[in-house]
């Protein structure tokens, strides 16, 4: 039985890695800043600190900053969660709505977390889910690659190259 579960998890991992490989084929080049400083005052008014449990947040047109601890709390209470690291400026990135549809069809809970602040506002009303963004407060840099790497390394407890190039992070029963 354990072997059957392992085979299913391995198959799921291979499917996700295939999707990720397609995404990685194209490179995304952008100035490495968070984009927060480029936001207008109106756009900045739509950046909110997330103070509620993540599953209580809906798409109300705002971006919600999240910490590693908040995401860990969310995934530990769900059987299967796909955390999607979204870069809106990257043409190789999957549309979050398509990833959400995949998750719905396959029984996954879904979180989309952007590493950058610009290119997201206004949040599309067609998104049936909230959009989160990494809270910059704990990091001593505005470089999204550096703080994004720290965020996902702490979230996944993995610093491998596969994790570093992955935009999808699968959690099962909090792990």
| 105-119, 138-152, 155-169: least confidently modelled range | 155-169
**Domain segments of the chain: what residues?**
2-172
Report d(CA 19, CA 158) in Å as an integer.
Answer: 20
Element (H, E) at 100: helix 96-106
pTM of the model: 0.78
Is 125 or 28 the better-scoring residue by pLDDT? 125
pLDDT tens per residue across span 122-148:
888 888 999 999 998 898 888 888 888
Contact 134, 66 (CB under 8 A): yes
Q: What is the pLDDT of residue 167?
A: 78
CB atoms within 10 A of CB 132: 22
Quick one: pLDDT band at residue 60, thresholds 50, 70, 90?
very high
CA-based nearest residue to 114, from 20, 36, 26, 55: 36
Give the model's pLDDT for residue 134.
95
How close are the terminal C-alpha atoms of the chain, in Å?
20
Inter-axis angle of helices 68-76 and 144-156, nearest 10: 30
Please report the pLDDT score of residue 29 as a whole number: 46
CA distance 5 to 158: 22
Confidence of residue 1 (pLDDT cuts 50, 70, 90): low
Q: How far is the C-alpha of 100 from the C-alpha of 84, rounded, in Å?
A: 9
pLDDT confidence band for 100 (50 / 70 / 90): very high
What would you report as the CA-atom Rg of the chain, rounded to the nearest whole angstrom?
16
Structure-block tokens of residue 66: 């999240």
Q: Please indicate whether residue 164 or residue 123 has the higher confidence score (pLDDT).
A: 123
Tens digit of pLDDT for each residue in 18-27? 555 444 434 4
Confirm if 111 and 103 have CB atoms less than 8 A apart: no
Which of the two residues, 156 and 51, has the higher pLDDT score?
A: 51
Calculate the average pLDDT of the chain: 82
Band the pLDDT of 105: cuts 50, 70, 90. Answer: very high
CA 158, CA 163: separation in Å to the nearest integer?
7
Check residues 22 and 87 and name the one with the higher pLDDT. Answer: 87
What gap in Å lies between CA 85 and CA 19, rounded to an integer? 13
Structure tokens at 3: 């072997």
């Amino acid at each position: 039985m354990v072997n059957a579960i392992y085979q299913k998890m391995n198959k799921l991992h291979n499917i996700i890695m295939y999707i990720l490989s397609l995404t990685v084929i194209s490179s995304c080049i952008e100035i490495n800043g968070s984009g927060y400083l480029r936001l207008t005052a109106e756009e900045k008014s739509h950046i909110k600190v997330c103070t509620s449990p993540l599953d209580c947040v809906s798409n109300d047109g705002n971006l919600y900053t999240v910490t590693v601890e908040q995401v860990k709390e969310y995934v530990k209470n769900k059987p299967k969660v796909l955390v999607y690291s979204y870069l809106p400026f990257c043409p190789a990135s999957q549309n979050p709505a398509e990833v959400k549809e995949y998750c719905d069809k396959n029984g996954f809970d879904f979180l989309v977390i952007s590493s950058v602040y610009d290119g997201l506002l206004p949040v599309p009303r067609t998104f049936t889910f909230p959009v989160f963004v990494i809270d910059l407060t704990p990091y001593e840099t505005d470089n999204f690659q550096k703080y994004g790497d720290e965020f996902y390394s702490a979230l996944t407890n993995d610093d491998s190259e596969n994790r570093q190039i992955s935009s999808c992070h699968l959690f099962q029963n909090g792990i």
